[in-house]
């Protein structure tokens, strides 16, 4: 991934470069997600790295190396059969401009431009544990905004009890969609209190840079107390509903993947134990933690049966 160090270029460049050239470069950087809201004096503040928020830190293994977190991915639209291959298959995926359609039980159904949202909803960096149902686990710094801040902005009606997410469908840009007969596009859902929980985050960055395409660019969800498949990538639609929405993996294999999918070491997957996890890339084994270690933030939402 081509990354430009953003520090300190704005003022000298504006002074030294003809406006047309300057604007062109600004547009390129904007498209790459490296610029944020113009500040008081018209200078753009870089979006990344975002201010760190340590409020939700929990005891965790050491940070996963960046190359490992962005090189071992589940992203079935690109490759339903491989993980290390995904990063090599995302080249044609177009992520800018990006829009999110908000619909259903909401004050005003509307399509939002991601760049505009990022001007209104400041991003922050949080280190989260991340646990896949397949047992592999990572510890990574995500950047993004709380989903709750977006929900407040769009004003759902009081009858909205669930939120449904639908990811983008681009068979021409996503080669895996033709390889497996799945009910594309990927869809997921949360109960409204889960969606409003401060831990639930709309992610646009990873390791202090825009999130790589293989990790869900330009915007994905992270729900760190649930198995990773509850965190859809490349979100295109958000719908507010009164009933529990169906989810992709439950539609495919209802006996193996439930709506809640909260991390629970004592509840094995029908085909394997969930008592331990394995850290990427060393595969070191560690005990699985209930709610993936986020019990103090989330246990109050449940009666202990939602797994």
In the complex, which residues of this chain contact ligand MTE (CB under 6 A)?
73-77, 132, 167, 186, 215-216, 228-229, 231-234
Nearest-approach distance from CB 115 to ligand MTE, in angstroms: 21
Residue nearest to ligand MTE (CB): 228
Nearer CB in complex with ligand MTE: 191/220: 220
Return the DSSP state at 171: T
Nearest-approach distance from CB 63 to ligand MTE, in angstroms: 14
Q: Is 104 left (phi over 0), alpha (psi -120 to 50) or beta?
A: left
Nearest-approach distance from CB 280 to ligand MTE, in angstroms: 8
Nearer CB in complex with ligand MTE: 117/174: 174
Nearer CB in complex with ligand MTE: 117/137: 137
Nearest-approach distance from CB 72 to ligand MTE, in angstroms: 7
Nearest-approach distance from CB 182 to ligand MTE, in angstroms: 9
Instruction: Write the CA distances from 236 to 49, 170, 185, 206, integer angstroms.
Output: 24, 11, 10, 19
Nearer CB in complex with ligand MTE: 46/228: 228
Nearer CB in complex with ligand MTE: 146/232: 232
Nearest-approach distance from CB 144 to ligand MTE, in angstroms: 13
Assigned token pair, 65: 């190396």
Nearer CB in complex with ligand MTE: 68/148: 68
Nearer CB in complex with ligand MTE: 10/213: 213
- The SS3 of residue 10 is helix
Q: How many CB atoms lie within 10 A of CB 53?
A: 16
Let me know if 2 is exposed, middle or buried by CB neighbors in 10 A (0-12, 13-18, 19+). exposed
Strands (E), the chain: 35-38, 44-46, 51-52, 99-104, 110-113, 124-131, 136-146, 162-167, 187-191, 201-206, 209-210, 220-222, 235-241, 276-279, 284-287
**Helix/strand/coil percentages in the chain, nearest 5:** 25, 25, 50
Q: What angle do CA 304, 305, 306 make, to 5 degrees?
A: 100
Nearest-approach distance from CB 37 to ligand MTE, in angstroms: 27
User: What CA–CA distance (Å, rounded) separates 102 from 110?
Assistant: 5
């Amino acid at each position: 991934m081509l990354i430009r160090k953003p520090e300190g270029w704005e003022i000298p460049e504006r002074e030294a470069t003809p406006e047309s050239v300057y604007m062109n470069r600004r547009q390129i950087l904007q498209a790459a997600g490296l610029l944020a809201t113009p500040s008081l004096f018209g200078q753009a503040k870089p979006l990344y790295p975002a201010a760190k928020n340590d409020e939700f830190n929990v005891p965790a293994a050491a940070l996963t190396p960046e190359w490992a977190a962005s090189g071992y991915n589940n992203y079935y639209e690109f490759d339903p059969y491989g993980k290390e291959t995904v990063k090599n298959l995302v080249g044609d995926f177009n992520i800018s401009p990006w829009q999110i359609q908000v619909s259903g039980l909401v004050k005003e159904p509307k399509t939002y431009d991601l760049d505009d949202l990022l001007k209104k909803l400041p991003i922050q960096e949080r280190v989260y544990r991340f646990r896949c149902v397949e047992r592999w686990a990572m510890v990574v710094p995500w950047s993004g905004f709380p989903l709750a801040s977006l929900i407040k902005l769009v004003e759902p009606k009081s009858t909205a009890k669930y939120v449904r997410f639908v990811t983008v469908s681009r068979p021409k840009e996503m080669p895996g969609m033709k390889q497996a007969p799945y009910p594309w596009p990927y869809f997921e859902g949360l109960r409204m209190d889960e969606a409003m929980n401060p831990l639930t985050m709309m992610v646009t960055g990873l390791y202090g840079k825009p999130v790589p395409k293989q990790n869900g660019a330009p915007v994905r969800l992270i729900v760190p107390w649930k198995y990773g498949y509850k965190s859809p990538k490349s979100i295109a639609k958000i719908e507010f509903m009164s009933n529990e929405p169906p989810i992709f993996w439950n539609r495919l294999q209802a006996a193996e993947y439930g709506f809640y999918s909260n991390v629970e070491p004592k509840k094995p997957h029908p085909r394997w134990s969930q008592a331990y996890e394995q850290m990427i890339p060393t595969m070191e084994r560690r005990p699985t933690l209930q709610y993936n270690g986020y019990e103090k933030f989330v246990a109050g939402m449940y009666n202990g049966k939602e797994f």
